[in-house]
Amino acid sequence: MRTDDEGTEPDYRFTLANERTFLAWMRTSLALLAGGIALEEVAGEFSTAATRTALAVTAVAFSLVLAVSAFVRWRQVQRAMRRDEPLPHPWAVPLLATGIVAVAGVVALVLAF
């Protein structure tokens, strides 16, 4: 379903703000991807190979989830603005925050011990 054919054209400032938010989420996704790759390939003697790989795969998986959810969120917000409806609830925010806290917690434990 195309969002650019539905409803009325919203104020361009809101459309551009929605786009900037999407791009910010994509930058975060790219940072997670780069961090996962760096953890696996560059980290050297960071804990065990299994721990390193598990953390890297988790970071890359969160990168994938964030990229997909950023696109879905952008479309939902664009559609809601065109239809003059309330904005949808950002379901990916708590998921991403929980995931980053979990990865950071494991990294902190590995570095401490």
CA distances from 56 to 2, 27, 35, 42, 105 (A): 35, 18, 7, 11, 14
Report the pLDDT value the prediction gives residue 2, as an integer from 0 to 100: 57
Total domain count, the chain: 1
Residue 73, domain member (yes or no)? yes
DSSP 12-71: HHHHHHHHHHHHHHHHHHHHHHHHHHHHHHT--SSS-HHHHHHHHHHHHHHHHHHHHHHH
Residue 90, domain member (yes or no)? yes
Residue 4, domain member (yes or no)? no
Residue 57, domain member (yes or no)? yes
Report the pLDDT value the prediction gives residue 5, as an integer from 0 to 100: 63
Give 10-residue mean pLDDT values along the chain (113 residues): 72 95 96 92 81 92 94 96 94 88 89 85
For residues 30 and 45, give the distance between their C-alpha atoms in angstroms, rounded to a whole number.
24
For residues 39 and 49, give the distance between their C-alpha atoms in angstroms, rounded to a whole number.
10
Domain limits for position 42: 12-112
Residue 7, domain member (yes or no)? no
Residue 1, domain member (yes or no)? no
Greatest alpha-carbon span in the chain: 58
pTM, entire model: 0.83
Residue 2, domain member (yes or no)? no
Report the pLDDT value the prediction gives residue 78, as an integer from 0 to 100: 95
